Every structure is written in structure tokens, then in C-alpha cells.
Amino acid sequence: MQIELIGCTSAGKSSLVRNILQSNHQNGLNLVTSYDFVLSWASLDWIKSHGLRMLCLNLTALLACILTWRKNFEFYRFVIGVILRLPAKVGFFERLRIARISARNIGIYEIVCRFTPEQQIVLADEGTLHIANYLFVHVSAEPNMAELEKFIRLVSLPDVVIYIKQPESVLITRTRARNHKRIPGGSPFLIKQFIQHSLVVFEKLVGFSSLESRLLVLNQGQNMNTVVGYSDNPLLACARKIIPIEEMT
């Protein structure tokens, strides 16, 4: 099963992944991050250097992205079109970065989808849906909702989506404390604008009908909700069991 965590910058995705792995370590559940799964699958998990691990991960995922081009051709064409239409303030190297991340996330998804053993749970805090954060969230432009709707029609979906929902004020405070490379100069005004754009994108994203049956919403780490009518989904029930809510408060 492939579970993707989504949410705005500073919502707590990486922290939740760590908490899930730690809290389930003693329970015998077969959980792994998507990055670690791909490196293990490629027999590269022996590498210790973080920089070298990320290089190998990116190259492996890029190869998978290329090999599955027939399946994902329409999505690749869509992503390239969005990147080319980005505002002029989004520089050339940032556009290349968005393309690289998009290709990496699709490649990882394809590897996990094809080679995950039965009963294994793979957690991703940078998956296919998070590509929307790079394509549509910018300080220099309002999110394009029409293109976001096309995005959700074309993108490959994980088995379960966990949306980590935080108040705008919390997201702004955390982002100010951490800084963000996509927010020039760390301006308070630009931080607020970036977070507001991000909230618009993710709130719209989780509202699409194609996610209803696979969506869990984690509200400020205090409670989880499903879309009405899907509470009996066994995959969602499994995901609920592994999430340590009390550690996210």
C-alpha cells in the first residue's frame, strides 16, 4: 500500500512520517519511506552519505520515469506546459528544479507501485500529488485552478492520501522560523502570500471527487476525518491505525 502525506509548507509531513515509523517499530508492521524503498529495491541502501543517496535516488527515479513514458505521456506533456507558462519571475533553474522533482516523484511512484511486496506500507511525504505544490504555488502568481483540475485528472494517485491540515497562522509562524528557498528574502508579506496560495491549492485538491474514497484529513494532529460514505474503506482503516495522533498535538 502506498500512502502519501500532503499539506502546505511546514504542515508537519516529515515529522508525521518519523512519528509513524517510530511508533510502529515495535508492532511488527512493514513500514518504509518511499525513498528508502527505492534505494533498497535498487540495492543502493548501503550508501550512507545523504548527498550521494539523493543523487542515486534521483537517477533511479528518473530512469523509471523514462521507462514508463507511454503510461504517463499526457501527464509529462501537461507538466512541461505548466512549467513553460510559469511567470517570468520564476527563473530558469527553478523551472528545471520543478521538472526534476516532478520526474523524480513520478518515477518513485512507478517503482513503488510495481514492486511493493504484499502487506508492505510505503510512506511518501513527497509524492505525485505534491507535484502540485511546485507547479501551482508561487509568490509571484495566483494558483491556476483550471490547470489544477486537469492535473488531478492526469496524475497517478496513491492508495491513501493523508492531508495534514493546519491553521494559516501556524503555517506562517513555522515558515518564518525555518525560512524557505522559494520565498525570496524571507519577507513576511511574501511568506503570508505563499502560504495563502498553498492553502488554496491543497484545499481545492482534496475537494476533488477522485480523492474522496482514499482521503484522510488530519486536523491539527488532533482528529482524523474521512469523506462521508467512505469510513469503511479497509485501506483507510489500516492507515488510521498507524497514525499516532497524540504525538502530533
pLDDT in tens, 147-179: 999 999 999 999 999 999 999 999 999 998 887
More confident of the two residues 18 and 199: 199
What's the length of the chain? 249
**pTM assigned to the model:** 0.92
pLDDT tens-place string over residues 226-245? 877 777 788 888 888 888 76
The Cα 87–Cα 141 span in angstroms is 7
Dump the DSSP string for 213-232: GGEEEEETTTEEEE-TT-TT
Residue 174 corresponds to which cell in the numbers above? Answer: 513555522
What residue ranges do the domains of the chain occupy? Answer: 2-247
The SS3 of residue 27 is: helix
Q: How far apart are CA 245 and CA 223, in angstroms?
A: 7
List, in sequence order, the alpha helices (H) in 92-220: 92-115, 131-136, 145-154, 168-178, 188-205
> 2-247 architecture in CATH?
3-Layer(aba) Sandwich (3.40)
